[in-house]
Amino acid sequence: MTGIEIRHSLVNGSATEAANLVLPSNFVELDWENLDYLGWRDSHSPHLGYIIRWQGEKPMGIVVREADGPLSKRRMMMCQLCRATHTGHGVSLFSARRAGEAGMNGNTVGTYICANLGCSGNIRVDVPQASYYSDPESVLAEKVMGLETRVSGFMLDVMRP
Ligand SMILES: [Zn+2]
């Protein structure tokens, strides 16, 4: 995936947003094998973030915006994409402008996501607990599958006309 492909992949971003997008600082050394989606916060516009994933042969991406106001520090919050739970500022409410006309009319889709948009890393940080029925590898595989399903569902919501 190249920077140009990423700029072109944004289905709900304006031309200005695509032009102003700042790639993650570690872009050249990303470990694509372990990324279920590529997500990062824009270092120049910290309230903006991006979620990019392969849709068949082509990358498809969305711009998300962090909602104003911090969430409660003490409450446990769950990321709706990877189902990781965090306290403090680990989870943020993000909204995505709907693609096309819906977006121009001000329609957005919102959900709680890991604040660093790093679900792929977050589900791999803690060695998944093996349960009575399954080994750690299949627990991780299950988490990956769930994450992919929910990310693509979220993106489809954004694209729904
Ligand atoms: Zn997450």
Distance CA 12, CA 17 (A): 9
CA distances from 42 to 14, 21, 22, 70, 114 (A): 15, 7, 6, 18, 15
Distance CA 11, CA 97 (A): 9
Q: Find the 4 Cα to ligand 1 centroid distance in Å.
A: 26
Q: Find the 29 Cα to ligand 1 centroid distance in Å.
A: 21
SS3 65: strand
pLDDT at 115: 93
Model pLDDT for residues 135-151, shown as the tens digit of each residue = 888 888 999 999 999 99
Q: Find the 83 Cα to ligand 1 centroid distance in Å.
A: 6
pLDDT above 60: residue 128:
no
User: Higher confidence at residue 89 or residue 37?
Assistant: 37
Q: Find the 137 Cα to ligand 1 centroid distance in Å.
A: 19
Distance CA 111, CA 92 (A): 8
Q: Find the 105 Cα to ligand 1 centroid distance in Å.
A: 29
- Contact at 8 Å (CB) between 12 and 96? yes
Domain coordinates of the chain in residue numbers?
3-159
Q: Find the 120 Cα to ligand 1 centroid distance in Å.
A: 7
pLDDT above 90: residue 106:
yes
